[in-house]
Chains A and B, each alone.
Chain A
Amino acid sequence: MAEGMVGASRSGQWVAHFLLVIGVIVVAFPIYYVTIASTHPIQTILRPPLPLLPGDAGLANYAEAIGGGVGRIGGVGVGRLLWNTTLVAVSVAVGKIVISIASAYAIVFFRFPLRMVFFWLIFITLMLPVEVRILPTYKVMVDLRLIDTYAGLILPLIASATATLLFRQFFMTIPNELLEAARVDGAGPWRFFRDILLPLSATNIAALFVITFIYGWTQYLWPLLVTNSNSMNTIIIALRKMISFADADTPWNLVMVTCVFAILPPILVVVLMQRWFVKGLVETEK
């Protein structure tokens, strides 16, 4: 199908490939460059231009970063940073998915009073991203004594309507007869959800997991605000703290290693989940 879409002619294919290659270079080069930088000693990094090939300080840099180097600068080790960030990103992703799939299920498949009012209430929260409601949210977190806790990091990031809308749109494409067939077969609301809706939503869930995991992983403003203690830092915050204004004071080699650690998990999630959507698409497509 794809071949048919982009010009059938040979020259058309060359042009298409050329554009794709350019695209890949634009996207991949910074990542490559960071990875290369993480293998050079700080002196090489500070003396531009940075070589395009790996240096020989890779082992030393990584050993130093893992063996306490990051801790000395940021106040907390790489392991802890990765654990914090993973916990936040996974909880945000799972939390958003659970809440949004449940609310979309209620809105699409049940008739209850004020159904549309609830729908619009959820919809309106789309217009209130974390940044807009940051002061009141911060106040609430202080009142609830959630500063410097995982709950404080996670909960405000879970609330949002985007995923609810996506699930609602998907649920509305499910033929009503499928629900009716399940009712005739004796499935109650919970069974229908578990046995039919959830498996059919697998690809959507996988896609949303990737998007929301990365959203949680790359949060900057909220974690910065809601954590004071270094031990609650996410890796993104730690990176910021490791960079001082004077270039020479920054241990760039360790920063680059930390960058690689910060990039790796999202890439892994994308790669692993990608195989999963393909499987989902092949198996459940109607």
Chain B
Amino acid sequence: MATVALRDVRKSYGTNAVIHGVSIEIADGEFIVIVGPSGCGKSTLLRMVAGLEPITSGTIEIGGRVVNDLEPRARDIAMVFQNYALYPHMSVFDNMAYGLRIGGIRGAELRARVEQTAAMLELTPYLDRKPRQLSGGQRQRVAMGRALVRGPAAFLLDEPLSNLDAKLRVGMRLRIKDLQRSVGTTALYVTHDQVEAMTLADRLIVMNGGVAEQIDTPMRIYLEPATTFVAGFIGSPAMNILPAQGTEQGVLLGAVPLALGRPAPGRDVLLGIRPEDLTVAPEGEGLPLTIRAVELLGADAYAHGEIAGGGEMVVRVPGKKALSPGARVGVLPAPGLAHFFDPATGRRLP
């Protein structure tokens, strides 16, 4: 158990900079999720914390100690890999015991620790099996067990659930959260799945192109995304982001005045409204929308349409009241839930 701190950590491969300075102070026992699209540098960041990848500049501290130049084994971390990386020729027991044995733990204590961890993960019946005799979900648990059994200062997990099918993934997600809570170990968890990110994190790091766009609690990121990228990435379906103009009363979207917030009059802004913050009204009220397609999910439906004057918009409607393509309706944004961004920088406007 330990705090982890990154201070302006950067990484370049040759002249190609892939991490442009990430800083975060992580409290002891905190669950941090690093989320972002593929190729944005999540794994690289995690691997730098693990010590598998040298950092180009900045400092990384684990438990108050600068670990920049330490080998992974000296950092007291445990890692779960996306493909699990179990030792194929070792039994489940030996896979879990390997790190402990290297650490000099033998005999009864070794057996007790492995068995206790195996019991926690319901792996006891499989201790003698080889990894290839296990299902995907069981292998995943062995990988978790190998990390847990060592009782490290921090867990590092790189997309640990992405090779599981959807149902197992949900189950394991809850379980990982429970396990982490019960052992109280600091965790850094990488995923590209925003649902995983929202449900697991105490705090989220939303990354894009090697930059940490926003670091905050999931709910604050949802309610106050710092950039258009974060606004579009967190939340499903993505937030509607449309160019608009400030007026004395609110904003002008196309030719329609809307009483929403108050950017400086005359100023060009990007207006963001989540599909769930829009309600459908009869034609003539609010923003006119022509429905083009409807995704019906059961409880909800997402109506994709085109607003007058150009621009696409998605509206969440109850599944029972699903609209049909071609319908013309009005949509009303919920007051107070609109977001404004600077069109030049993409940053949130106060």
List the interface of chain A (C-beta within 8 A of B). Answer: 175, 177-178, 180-188, 191, 195-196, 199-200, 283-286
Residues of B within 8 A of A284 (CB): 88-89
Contact A184 B79 (CB under 8 A): yes
Contact A175 B83 (CB under 8 A): yes
Contact A200 B98 (CB under 8 A): no
Chain B residue nearest to A181 (CB atoms) is B85
Find A195's partner among B83, B98, B130 (CB 8 Å cutoff).
B98
Question: Can you give 23 A-B contacts (C-beta < 8 A)?
Answer: A175-B83, A175-B85, A177-B83, A180-B50, A180-B81, A181-B81, A181-B85, A181-B87, A181-B146, A182-B87, A183-B71, A184-B72, A184-B73, A184-B77, A184-B78, A187-B73, A188-B73, A191-B102, A195-B87, A200-B88, A283-B89, A284-B88, A285-B132
Contact A183 B83 (CB under 8 A): no
Could you tell me the distance in whole angstroms from the C-beta of B87 to the nearest C-beta in chain A? 6
Verify if B52 is at the interface (C-beta below 8 Å from A).
yes
Could you tell me the distance in whole angstroms from the C-beta of A35 to the nearest C-beta in chain B? 40
Contact B88 A184 (CB under 8 A): no
Main secondary structure, interface of A, reads helix
Nearest 6 A-B pairs (CB), nearest first? A186-B73, A185-B99, A177-B85, A181-B85, A186-B102, A199-B89
Find A180's partner among B79, B89, B99 (CB 8 Å cutoff).
B79
Contact A186 B132 (CB under 8 A): no
Contact A196 B87 (CB under 8 A): yes
Find A200's partner among B51, B79, B89 (CB 8 Å cutoff).
B89
Verify if B171 is at the interface (C-beta below 8 Å from A).
no
Residues of A within 8 A of B298 (CB): none
Could you tell me the distance in whole angstroms from the C-beta of A197 to the nearest C-beta in chain B? 10
18 further A-B pairs in the complex, CB-CB below 8 A; given A182-B98, A184-B50, A185-B150:
A177-B85, A178-B87, A181-B81, A181-B85, A181-B87, A183-B51, A184-B99, A185-B99, A186-B99, A186-B102, A187-B102, A188-B73, A191-B102, A195-B87, A196-B87, A283-B130, A285-B132, A286-B132
Contact A185 B77 (CB under 8 A): no
List the interface of chain B (C-beta within 8 A of A). Answer: 50-52, 71-73, 77-79, 81-83, 85-89, 98-99, 102-103, 130, 132, 146, 150
Residues of A within 8 A of B72 (CB): 180, 183-184, 186
Contact B88 A186 (CB under 8 A): no
Considering the chains assembled together, what is the distance between the CA atoms of A197 and B98 in angstroms? 14
Considering the chains assembled together, what is the distance between the CA atoms of A196 and B72 in angstroms? 18
Could you tell me the distance in whole angstroms from the C-beta of A210 to the nearest C-beta in chain B? 21
Residues of B within 8 A of A191 (CB): 102
Considering the chains assembled together, what is the distance between the CA atoms of A191 and B71 in angstroms? 15
Considering the chains assembled together, what is the distance between the CA atoms of A116 and B32 in angstroms? 41
Find B98's partner among A177, A180, A185, A286 (CB 8 Å cutoff).
A185
Could you tell me the distance in whole angstroms from the C-beta of A111 to the nearest C-beta in chain B? 11
Residues of B within 8 A of A187 (CB): 73, 98, 102
Residues of B within 8 A of A177 (CB): 81-83, 85
Residues of B within 8 A of A286 (CB): 88, 132
Chain B residue nearest to A177 (CB atoms) is B85
Considering the chains assembled together, what is the distance between the CA atoms of A184 and B155 in angstroms? 11
Considering the chains assembled together, what is the distance between the CA atoms of A187 and B88 in angstroms? 16
Find A183's partner among B52, B87, B150 (CB 8 Å cutoff).
B52
Residues of B within 8 A of A182 (CB): 87, 98
Contact A181 B132 (CB under 8 A): no
Residues of B within 8 A of A186 (CB): 72-73, 99, 102-103
Could you tell me the distance in whole angstroms from the C-beta of B189 to the nearest C-beta in chain A? 16
Chain B residue nearest to A196 (CB atoms) is B87
Considering the chains assembled together, what is the distance between the CA atoms of A186 and B99 in angstroms? 6
Considering the chains assembled together, what is the distance between the CA atoms of A185 and B82 in angstroms? 16
Chain B residue nearest to A183 (CB atoms) is B72
Residues of B within 8 A of A283 (CB): 89, 130
Could you tell me the distance in whole angstroms from the C-beta of A277 to the nearest C-beta in chain B? 15
Considering the chains assembled together, what is the distance between the CA atoms of A9 and B308 in angstroms? 69
Chain A residue nearest to B78 (CB atoms) is A184
Could you tell me the distance in whole angstroms from the C-beta of A198 to the nearest C-beta in chain B? 10
Contact A185 B73 (CB under 8 A): yes
Considering the chains assembled together, what is the distance between the CA atoms of A283 and B102 in angstroms? 24
